[in-house]
């Protein structure tokens, strides 16, 4: 009895030793590779290799791609854009609005007010959108997110002085749960519908536009009276946020071959990525 179990233990240990040896060897290989790659001259050598034409099989790299590759790179559904002429017109309108009005105003605003102030203003408006985020977290069944939002609102409104600061984010690392009605509809299976570009509001889809109605309803700023005050407050919000992002839109335009298609695609990808059904990790290779 004792002799049999002893034999079993010896075989198990031997097997384990062989396994360890194999894994240790490959890990050592990876480790030495990692060490080699962190060597200071690594990049210079790589560049030299390439320019010296030392990359073997360079010709093969330019060969046809195969059907297998296509399957791997399988794409997501195209966005439907039947009113493209209208959308392009609105895109041009928004582009002019940005370069002729919003950007100049933001640049002046940026000179007048330091970044920390402008971040506080943004935090303030962001804090006001707590009800919208909370309702949408709950509707989507994201209870943990709802809890985080409640904690954030409580802390930022009190310790954060009415939402000007974000101690919940910076100290407690509780991230804002950016949910809205468009995403909620998406979680419930509503398809995005056609692509629509609204003046001032920018790119959207049919589903997200319906969602915007709900978002406006739960935005306290919507209820500011009289109309002049509403326009004033909204303008401050727009110019303030734009001042923190000057250069982003310009960079997208510069990088694009066709800015309209680029912005449309970026918006669609961005929205699709936010809906759990298409969550990160599920992107095709």
Partner 1 sequence: MKKAMIAAALVCLLVVPCRVGAGVPLETIRTHVNSVLEVLRDPALQEETARDTKKKRVESIADGMFDFIELAKRTLGREWNSLNRDQREEFVTLYRSILEKAYMDRILAYSDEKVVFDREIMLADDKAEVQSHILTASADIPIFYRVIRIEETWRVYDVIIEGVSLIKNYRTQFREILLTKSPDGLLAILREKVNGS
Stretch that binds partner 1, among 149-157, 189-197, 217-225, 273-281 (CB under 8 A): 273-281
State which of residues 95, 219, 237, 265 lies at the interface with partner 1 (CB under 8 A).
265
Q: What element of type H or E holds 21?
A: helix 2-37
Contacts of 49 (CB under 8 A, 6+ apart): 55
Q: d(Cα 63, Cα 151) in Å, to the nearest integer?
A: 56
Per-residue interface string for the shown chain with partner 1, residues 98-127, x marking contact by CB under 8 A? -----------------xx-xx--x-----
Q: How far is the CB of 76 from partner 1 (least distance, A)?
A: 8
State which of residues 70, 86, 99, 216 lies at the interface with partner 1 (CB under 8 A).
70
Residues 147/150/154/160 CA torsion (nearest 10 deg): 90
Q: State yes or no: residue 34 binds partner 1 (CB under 8 A).
A: yes
Q: State yes or no: residue 283 binds partner 1 (CB under 8 A).
A: yes
Stretch that binds partner 1, among 67-75, 101-109, 153-161, 184-192 (CB under 8 A): 67-75
Q: What element of type H or E holds 211?
A: helix 206-217
Q: d(Cα 138, Cα 33) in Å, to the nearest integer?
A: 48
B/e letters for 12-24, b = 16+ CB within 10 Å, e = fewer, are eeeeeeeeeeeee
Contacts of residues 11-20 at CB distance under 8 Å and 24 or more positions apart, as own/partner, are none
Q: State yes or no: residue 75 binds partner 1 (CB under 8 A).
A: yes
Do the Cβ atoms of 135 and 178 come closer than 8 Å?
no
Q: State yes or no: residue 61 binds partner 1 (CB under 8 A).
A: yes
Positions that interact with partner 1 (CB under 8 A): 5-6, 9-10, 12-13, 16-17, 19-20, 23-24, 26-27, 30, 33-34, 37-38, 42-44, 46-47, 50, 55-57, 61-62, 64-65, 69-70, 73, 75-76, 115-116, 118-119, 122, 175, 244, 247, 251, 254-258, 261-262, 264-266, 269-270, 272-274, 280-281, 283, 285
């Amino acid at each position: 009895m004792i002799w049999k179990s002893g034999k079993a233990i010896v075989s198990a240990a031997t097997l384990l030793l062989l396994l360890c040896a194999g894994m240790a060897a490959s890990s050592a290989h990876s480790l030495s590779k990692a060490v080699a790659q962190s060597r200071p001259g690594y990049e210079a050598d790589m560049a030299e290799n390439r320019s010296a034409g030392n990359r073997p099989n360079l010709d093969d790299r330019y060969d046809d791609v195969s059907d297998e590759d296509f399957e791997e790179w399988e794409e997501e559904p195209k966005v439907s854009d039947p009113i493209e002429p209208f959308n392009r017109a609105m895109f041009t309108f928004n582009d002019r609005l940005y370069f002729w009005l919003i950007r100049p105003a933001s640049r002046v605003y940026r000179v007048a007010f330091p970044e920390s102030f402008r971040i506080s203003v943004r935090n303030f408006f962001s804090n006001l959108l707590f009800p919208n985020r909370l309702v949408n977290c709950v509707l989507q069944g994201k209870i943990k997110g709802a809890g985080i939002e409640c904690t954030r609102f409580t802390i930022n409104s009190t310790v954060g002085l009415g939402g000007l600061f974000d101690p919940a984010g910076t100290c407690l690392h509780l991230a804002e749960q950016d949910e809205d009605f468009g995403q909620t509809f998406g979680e419930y299976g509503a398809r995005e519908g056609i692509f629509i570009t609204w003046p001032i509001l920018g790119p959207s889809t049919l589903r997200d536009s319906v969602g915007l109605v709900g978002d406006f309803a739960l935005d306290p700023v919507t209820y500011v009276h009289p109309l002049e005050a509403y326009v004033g407050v909204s303008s401050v919000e727009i110019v303030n946020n734009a001042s923190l992002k000057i250069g982003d839109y310009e960079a997208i335009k510069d990088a694009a071959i066709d800015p309209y298609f680029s912005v449309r695609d970026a918006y669609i990808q961005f929205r699709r990525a936010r809906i759990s059904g298409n969550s990160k990790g599920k992107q095709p290779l």
